[in-house]
Structure formats: structure tokens, C-alpha cells
Amino acid sequence: MEKFTKLAARAAPLEMINVDTDIIIPKQFLKTVKRTGLGISAFYNIRYDENGAPRPDFVLNKPEYKGASILITGENFGCGSSREHAPWALLDMGLRCIIAPSFADIFYNNSFKNGILPIELPQEQVDELMSETKENPDAVIEVDLEKQTITRGNKFSFSFEIDPFRKHCLLNGLDDIGLTMQKNASIGSFEQKRANDKPWL
């Protein structure tokens, strides 16, 4: 998993609440078990029209927000079914950080495990970020995980809370497999001892 330390990028304002996982990645795209290739289908039903053409009014289709790595959005983001394809799709389309007043629990946990930093902020701070990104689409927002701050030049600086263990994993690029591999020497020693003690297994 790619490490997350600092991210300085443009942010896109998605002014929606209760964005569920079927909006993030519709059910017809869940046939794959690969983490790549889903980005083009993210937000499919609101991103494309009935003919498959991009909707010009959808925020992530607008030229000024192309390449945004931060998404500012409304409360209860990621609700609905517990599909891990949702953070896969967002990551594949280039989003590394999502800022909202609240998240659905399973989506929130899945995001950390896939290298996305979900940040919960008070509604008034989310509103300020939303306004800033609408008024200044080229604005660069800096997210510093080590300092736990979100800044925009000298305009504002917000702090955010994060579980220390999740912070450690993101800073070091450790998913569940990476965490297990840190114990590789102990696992090898155990397997060797078991082979010696119980060779019939």
C-alpha cells in the first residue's frame, strides 16, 4: 500500500449527503476482484448520462476539477452496502483523501485499509472548505497526516483527529498484509518449530 504522509492537491466539492456505496460504484461493476480499473466507473450513474457520455455538470467531469485528489462532501458518506470496491474505485480515480462531517463505519474502515485518508471535520469547517474549492478551483489544499492538519496557504488551518494505529499504518503504507509481514521472522520461527515438533502435520 502506498504511504500517506502529506498531500498537496486540488479538491473537488461534491455537495451531496448520504452518498451510498451504490452511488460510488454501482453493483454491475462488482464482478472483479482486482483493485484496479474501477475508477472509470466510479459515480457512474451521476457521472454519465444514459448514453454513457460524461455529464458536464458533474463536479469531477468539470475541467477545473480534473485530477483532484481530495474530495469534500456531505455527511454519512459511504453508507449502504459494505462493498470494498467503493474505496478501490475512488483510489483508482486518483482520490487519496475524503473530507466530510461523517462517514459510514464500514466504508471508513475500508478506506484506511486501502490507503485513503477519510477525515471527519465539523460541518462549518467542511462548509468553509466547500466554499473555498468552489470559489477557487485551482486552490491547493495541504493535508499533513503527521501534524494532523488541513491548510490552505495562510487562509485557514484545521486540525483533525485520527486513531493512532490507523495513522501509523497510513504513514508507513501498511495494510493488513503488510502488518502480517512485519511478523515474518516470528511466523517463520513458529513454522520451523512446528515442523520439528509435529512433522506429521
Residue 194 confidence (pLDDT): 77
**Bridge partners (DSSP) listed for residue 8:** 142
Q: Would you say 142 and 6 are in contact if contact means Cβ atoms under 8 Å apart? A: yes
CB 97 within 8 A of CB 143: yes
Residues of the chain where predicted confidence (pLDDT) is lower than 70 = 176-183, 187
pLDDT in tens, 21-71: 999 999 999 988 888 899 999 999 999 999 999 999 999 999 999 999 999
* 3-state secondary structure (DSSP) of residue 79: strand
- What's the confidence (pLDDT) of residue 98? 98
d(CA 142, CA 9): 7
Please count the other Cβ atoms lying within 10 Å of the Cβ belonging to residue 40: 12
Helices (H) and strands (E) in the chain, counts: 8, 7
pLDDT at position 193, please? 77
Instruction: Identify the architecture of domain 6-197 in CATH.
Output: Alpha-Beta Barrel (3.20)
Domain ranges in the chain are 6-197
Q: Provide the grid cell at 100.
A: 466530510
